[in-house]
Homo-oligomer: A and B are copies of this chain.
Amino acid sequence: MLVLRVDDVAVAEEVSRAVHGLLDTGQRAKPVRFRGEVLLVLPQGSRELLDRLRTFPGVKQIHEIAVPYPLVSREWQPETTRVRVGNVTIGEGMPVVIAGPCSVESEVQVRAAADAAKRAGAHILRGGAYKPRTNPYSFQGLGETGLKLLRAAADAVGLPVVTEVMSPSAVDVVSRYADMLQVGTRSMANFDLLRALGSCGRPVLLKRGMSATVDEWLQAAEYIVAAGNSDVVLCERGIRSFDVATRNTLDLAGAVLAKQRSHLPVVVDPSHGTGVVDLIGPMSLAAVAAGVDGIMVEMHPNPKEAFSDGQQALTPVQLEELVAKVARLADSLSPVYAGPGPRREYGVRNS
C-alpha cells in the first residue's frame, strides 16, 4: 500500500478526489491522523498513479508498504509503541500483569479482587461489566453499575482498569470509567466498534478473534489506528482447534509473529487461551520468555463461586505466586538476552 505524508487534511482530500478514478476500490480514501501527522493511505495502484502523486503539491513523502496493515507494521515504525494505561506503560520492556475476575459480580467481590490483584503485584485490574455470553439466559454483566464498582475498587487500591466494550453505543460510557477499553474475541471483526474506538481517547486492548489469522488481527488493529487512535495493545487469547483438551489453543508463536510484524505491544491471555488453571502458570512464563509485553489472567477471590469462567480463574494466592515467578523470570532474562540489543527487542529478531 501507499502511505502519503501530506501537509494537511485539505491536501489529503484533494489528493483523494484527484486520484479516485485511478483506484479500483469503489470509494475515496479518507485522511488519517496519526500522532500529529496527516496521512493518506492508498492501494498500491499503477505506475501512473505513483507518478501523479509524486508531483502533487502538499504531498511530502510517499512510502510503499508491502503489508495490508501499513500503519501498524514495523515497516512503518520500527520501534515498539509504548502504550500508557493510567500510571502503567505497556511495551517498555518489562512484562505487565493484568489480572482480575471474568465478571464484576458485586461490590464485595470486586473489592476483594482489586485488593488481591494489588497485593499480588499485578499492574492493571481487569473485570467485565458487559459480558458477551454464548447463551442469552446466562449472566450478562452488571452494565454501568458494574463499571462504577470496578472503578471504585480500582481507585481504592490505585490500579488502572481495563474492561470490555461490546457496542459502539457503549464506547462513551465505558470510556468514562475505564483506563483502557477491551475489544473481546467475538468483536474483533465488529468494524463499527473498531471505528468508534478511533476517537474514544483511551487505549484499546484488541483481542484476537478466535478464528482470525494474524494478518486479519493486524488489519483489525489498523481499523482503530486509521480511525485516529494509535494506542492499541494486541492480546492473543487462543484460537479454535480440534483438540478440546484445552478450551482454546494458545497460539504463542502467533503472538510473537504479531510482535515481529507490528510495532504494537502484545500481551497473552493464558486463562482463555487454555481454560485450565494448571496451564496458566507454565504458559505465562512461556509468554514472557518468548518476549511478549505482558500477560492477562483471570483471578477470582473465590473461583468456585464465580458467575462465569471459574474453572480457569486463579485464586489470589496462585496469582501472587505467579506474579513473583514472572518478575523473577523477567529479571533473570537480562543475561539470557545479553548482547547488543535491549531485552524487549528479542521477540523481534532471532539472531
Q: Report which A residues bind B (CB closer than 8 A).
A: 1, 24-27, 29, 41-43, 68-69, 103, 105, 132-140, 166-170, 186-187, 189-194, 210-211, 213-216, 219, 222-223, 226-227, 239-246, 249-254, 256-257, 260, 270, 273-274, 276-283, 285-291, 307, 318, 321-322, 325, 328-329, 332-333, 335-338, 346-347, 349-351
Looking at the assembled complex, report how far the CB atom of A190 sits from the nearest CB atom of chain B, in whole angstroms.
Answer: 6
Find out whether the CB atom of A223 lies under 8 angstroms from the CB atom of B68. Answer: no
Looking at the assembled complex, report how far the CB atom of A253 sits from the nearest CB atom of chain B, in whole angstroms.
Answer: 5
Looking at the assembled complex, report how far the CB atom of A61 sits from the nearest CB atom of chain B, in whole angstroms.
Answer: 18
Find out whether the CB atom of A329 lies under 8 angstroms from the CB atom of B318. Answer: no
Q: 3 shortest A-B CB distances, which residue pairs?
A: A211-B211, A332-B332, A289-B289
- Taking CB atoms, residues of chain B closer than 8 Å to A215 are 245
State in angstroms the CA–CA spacing of A253 and B243 once bound together. 11
Q: How many copies does the complex hold?
A: 4
State in angstroms the CA–CA spacing of A315 and B329 once bound together. 28
Find out whether the CB atom of B169 lies under 8 angstroms from the CB atom of A282. Answer: no
Q: Which residue of B lies closest to A307 (CB)?
A: B26
- Taking CB atoms, residues of chain B closer than 8 Å to A192 are 166-167, 169-170
State in angstroms the CA–CA spacing of A194 and B26 once bound together. 30
State in angstroms the CA–CA spacing of A25 and B135 once bound together. 11
